[in-house]
Amino acid sequence: MRITLQKLFQSHFSDYAQTKKLPKHHYTAANKIMACRTAALGGHAQHCENGHTLGVWYNSCRHRSCTQCQFIQAERWLEKQKALLLNTSHRHIVFTIPHEFHGLWRFNTTGMIDVLFGAVRETLMQLCEQAAHLGALPGFMLALHTWGRSLSLHPHIHCLVSEGGVDELGAWRTPRRNSFLPAKVVMMVFRGKFLASIRRALDKGALCLPPDVERFRFNSLLNKLGRKKWNVRVMERYAHGGGVATYLSRYVRGGPISDQQVAQLKDHKIAFSFSQHHDGQTRPARLEIAPHDFIDRYLTHVPPKGKPVVRCYGLYAGGKREQLNAVREQFQQGPVQTPPPVAWKCLYQRVTGKSGPVCPECGAPVHMGAAVPPLLHAHRVHDPPRTDEARKAA
């Protein structure tokens, strides 16, 4: 039997929250998911021009991890990113950290996000500045993903990098190699910068080891990981960055899984389907787990408040607009302009082929009427008292 993520949270989150010390942003995400498009958020009455009342159009929660209201937000994000990109080929590079860091990640999610973004940014900037590779400043767009296909913890960053950059004289330069950047060199530089950042953060107290991990043993682990091969992939060339941006838009909004993948079984377990890669082949897979375990996996991938999961550097950085516009002129592109937000009616027509919803009784267009006030505290689990212990967990 199909079940939506919202109904699953409404049925099980309250009990789940009693068993865990959850950070505040997990409560925020859960409460918004449970309230999305319900009476808790209020809305507007629906009616047609012939006076037929059709019910209430409830408001969306707009939380970036909600599965049911982020489609239009993802489209708006995509349009904004496409308006930024240079009209040239781009590369897709993926940086993944070893699974040995997963415990540290769970214990220091906010700090580890910054460490990972910083190591990737420094790696790409350093290599692209070198004349042997590019000798110029390209545009970078970095997107964080934290999940594997089974909702396991799998932190990695997808990078969209312009295949070329602007040098000190303002001229456009292309890579010296057809492969753009040598994958082994990228891996080694990233590995070194990430490990160095971890050590510095631990020394400064910006990161804390889990209680069951001793520092000298962790130092030994870092030394061991410094000799291993890490999973860094320099992928194929895209004629334009829009293809990678479209891929990223599926993940920056709406959470790690869709409602269509989730089902509730008769024994009260939750099953969800996903694609599994093995020996170069993709096979359908299915995992059955308890509802509390599913919620735990899902909330692991809710980003902390104030931590953007997409960050732009180089020519695509917010402070480089003047330099970017000068390069865009070389590609016969106009200055960067933020496109108007995609209207929901335009998106509705694009998806359904219809100009808008119509009345089932007379076929007239449906309009929004009087506002309906929110029903306070519906489907809401209150945050726990902010004790010192809870603050540390957050």
- Of residues 128 and 352, which shows the higher confidence score? 128
Residue 196 has pLDDT above 70, yes or no: yes
- The lowest-confidence range among 107-116, 300-309, 384-393 is 384-393
Question: How many alpha carbons lie under 13 Å from residue 199 in its C-beta half-sphere?
Answer: 15
Helix segments in the chain, DSSP class H: 5-17, 24-35, 71-84, 102-107, 109-129, 183-204, 215-225, 242-252, 291-300, 321-330, 344-352, 388-393
Contact 245, 78 (CB under 8 A): yes
pLDDT tens digits, 210-257:
999 999 999 999 999 999 999 999 988 888 888 888 888 877 888 888
pLDDT given for residue 189 in this prediction: 98
Region of poorest pLDDT, from 63-77, 157-171, 205-219: 63-77
Confidence (pLDDT) at 388: 40
- C-alpha dihedral, 345 to 349 to 354 to 357, nearest 10°: -30
**Distance between CA atoms of residues 15 and 18, nearest Å:** 5
pLDDT in tens, 306-356: 899 999 999 999 999 999 999 999 999 999 998 888 777 777 777 777 777
What's the pLDDT at 392? 38
The whole-number average pLDDT for the span 173-190 is 91
User: What pLDDT is recorded for position 381?
Assistant: 64
Q: Per-residue pLDDT tens for 4-15?
A: 999 999 999 999
More confident site: 74 or 267? 74
Tokens linked to 294: 């599913």
The predicted model scores a pTM of 0.89
pLDDT at 60 over 80: yes
Per the prediction, the chain carries an average pLDDT of 88
